[in-house]
Amino acid sequence: MKPNSDIKSFYKFFTPQVGHDALAKKMLRWSPPILFRDPVELTHLESLPFTEAELLDEVMRQVSSLILQKEHPRGLPGHSVTQAMHRWRKGDKFSSKEDIESSLRNIFVPILKQYKPKLDSIESDWTKFYKRVRVLNGVSDHANIEAWRNNALFHRGVALQFDCHAEGSNDELFDLCKPVEYTNDRLGITSLQGQVANIIGQADTRAQDQFLELMSRKPERLSHEGELRFFHVLTDGIVAEDSKPDTWMTDLPFATQDLMSVTLGMKAPKKERVAITKIVKENYPHVPIYKAHFADKSYKVEFELLHEGALKEE
């Protein structure tokens, strides 16, 4: 995943107390998706989405098709299977599909046995990666009703806007970012077709290179959430092998200049509003404070800039 350059800012939503603590400590909590408690998220326990028998069957099916097709089979230059298919076609080694499948089974059983450590490493590397990755979710608009519902106690909390590229900010804190892709195609840690393509010389890819992308996919029915995800990957050895998922969270500091605005929910309790306003004015004097409210005779939500003394008059 390339560093973020298109997303200039985002809003992170909090309950009143958690938002106050984030402002007071200048810390944001990052965690792996398993702590989102959402069943659609991949976990560290994912396994290969196919069996060894299914892999062998698909390898034989695709190689048979390539041998029998009219066009000359293409593949990676120098790959042993690509070269073998060229020899088999040239020498008319096989007379029928049944003859091909019988011979291919004897050829590819030992090949897949040698390939198995690569498949095992995908599972083990995924588990290790998952334990080290940390995610911060946000949205692009403080009017996002789902964010107020899901993360800010139905407009009782607060939304903090952060600048992704503030001058002098915590370097690279918000660099790895991707809007969630909402799709009905649920991907596993690798695919049967992808691994077959590697084995028979049609491609040369690493499933590990796509791990981060897998953490930014959700069902299409949730597209109204409009979620952004920021990623931070810890260095090796920080997370103990026997640690529990509830401990896989990391508090990372943000710089004062990273904060761009604060928006209070329309139902934020007065005590929390006063406390948050106080800490913003003291520690982030450059930051404007807004409060959500319904427009007159409308369900449309508007955001009023709070002037000095507005809270005292209530």
Does 85 map to a domain? no
Asked if residue 303 has pLDDT above 70, the reply is yes
| Rounded Cα gap, residues 54 and 79, in angstroms | 23
For residue 136, which of 155, 109, 160, 120 has the smallest C-alpha distance?
160
Q: Could you report the per-residue pLDDT of 184-211, keeping only the tens digit for each?
A: 999 999 999 999 999 999 999 999 999 9
Q: Could you report the per-residue pLDDT of 232-258, keeping only the tens digit for each?
A: 998 866 676 677 888 889 999 999 999
Asked if residue 43 has pLDDT above 90, the reply is yes
Mean pLDDT of 270-292: 94
Provide the pLDDT for residue 85. Answer: 77
Question: Listing from the earlier edge strand, what are the strands of the sheet with 158-163?
Answer: 9-14, 158-163, 259-264, 289-294, 301-305
Total structural domains in the chain?
1
Provide the pLDDT for residue 104. Answer: 86
pTM summary value: 0.86
Provide the pLDDT for residue 236. Answer: 66
Residue numbers of the domain that contains 159: 9-39+133-188+206-305
pLDDT band at 139 (very low <50, low <70, confident <90, very high): very high
Most confident of 4-8, 25-29, 70-74, 77-81: 25-29
Asked if residue 314 has pLDDT above 50, the reply is no
| Rounded Cα gap, residues 87 and 54, in angstroms | 26
Average pLDDT, the chain: 88
pLDDT band at 160 (very low <50, low <70, confident <90, very high): very high
Provide the pLDDT for residue 47. Answer: 95
| Rounded Cα gap, residues 93 and 86, in angstroms | 10
Asked if 260 and 9 count as a contact pair (C-beta separation under 8 A), the reply is yes
Q: Could you report the per-residue pLDDT of 253-268, keeping only the tens digit for each?
A: 999 999 999 999 999 9
Distances from the Cα of 19 to the Cα of 15, 22, 198, angstroms: 6, 5, 48
